[in-house]
Amino acid sequence: MTQPIIDIKQVSLAFDKFKALDGVSLSVNKGQCIVICGPSGSGKSSLLRCINGLEPFQSGDIWVDGVGVRGCKNLPALRLSVGMVFQHFELYPHMTVLENLTLAPIKAKGMNPSEAKKLAMHYLDRVGISNQADKFPARLSGGQQQRAAIARSLTLEPKAMLFDEPTSALDPELIAEVLQVMRDLAKDGMTMLVVTHEMGFAREVADEIVFMDHGQIIEQAPVTTFFGAPRTERAKDFLQKILSKI
């Protein structure tokens, strides 16, 4: 069996006395799309931040494509292999969209600027906003901004992508265009770990659903099993609440 792209083993993370993560284990294989859901404060976002070393955790370890995160000597190199997309996009407001995309390839990867620009335009085209390349982020709609942020991560040509509630800050009518981009990515075989409450997306795209609560993985199951017959009361409860909204 090939090794997972992301391999999380017994990770615990505490802020003072509050346990954000409590012995979480999870593997994501190449080409898999796993959706993490759960109530807010359950540790979903913290888990994503642990994977690329943004949040130093106290015990356990995580391997990204075989490289251990804990005690990693070269975090920037490790981070190049996992793209991250944020709830609030986090585009750099003082740079054009194109500059947003080329900054890390040029500075972190040492790519030459014209090559980086070509690559950036390729990915902007892929998310359907190549005509916005020379605008500043503030001039774009929320959906376009998030697509630009996804393209920014893709420009690093990562082995896996982490999505941290990518549509939660968007107006309802803009969510679809972002989900479409993510759907296409998953179809093209990108390895994805997605924190989201978009159950429609999860049902259609995810290979597995992970349900988290109080810093633990309560349930992990293939999509059909999870939606058809959640094993735990808490997952049932959560699903009911979230699906009744639609």
Partner 1 sequence: MDWAVVTANAPLLIKGLITSLKLAAVAIALSFPLGCLVAIGRLSHRAWLSKLCGGFVNVLRSNPLILILFWFYFLMPILIGKSINDLTSILCAFVIFFGAYFAEIIRSGIQSVGHRQIQAGLSSGLSYRQTMQHIVLPQAIRAMLPALTTQCILVLQGTTVAYVVGYDELLHTTAMIAERTGRPTEMYLAVALIYFLICYGGSLVSRKFEKGQGQ
* Contact positions vs partner 1 (CB under 8 A): 49, 52, 54, 75-77, 79-80, 82-84, 86, 88, 90, 92-94, 103-104, 107-109, 138, 152-153, 156
For 241, the 3-state DSSP assignment is: helix
Q: Name the amino acid, one letter, at 33.
A: C
Of 87 and 130, the one with the shorter C-beta distance to partner 1 is: 87
CB of 93 to partner 1, least distance (A): 7
CB of 235 to partner 1, least distance (A): 29
CB of 61 to partner 1, least distance (A): 19
The DSSP result for 58-99, as a single string, is SEEEEEETTEESTT-S-HHHHHHTEEEE-TT----TTS-HHH
How many Å apart are CA 154 and CA 139, to the nearest integer? 22
CB of 164 to partner 1, least distance (A): 10
Of 8 and 199, the one with the shorter C-beta distance to partner 1 is: 8
Of 92 and 237, the one with the shorter C-beta distance to partner 1 is: 92
The torsion angles phi and psi of 78, rounded to 5 degrees, stand at: -65, -40
Of 75 and 229, the one with the shorter C-beta distance to partner 1 is: 75
How many Å apart are CA 243 and CA 182, to the nearest integer? 21
Of 88 and 203, the one with the shorter C-beta distance to partner 1 is: 88
Spatial contact of 182 and 161, defined as CB atoms under 8 Å apart: no
> Which parts of 31-171 fold into alpha helices (H)?
44-51, 75-80, 97-107, 113-126, 142-154
CB of 101 to partner 1, least distance (A): 10
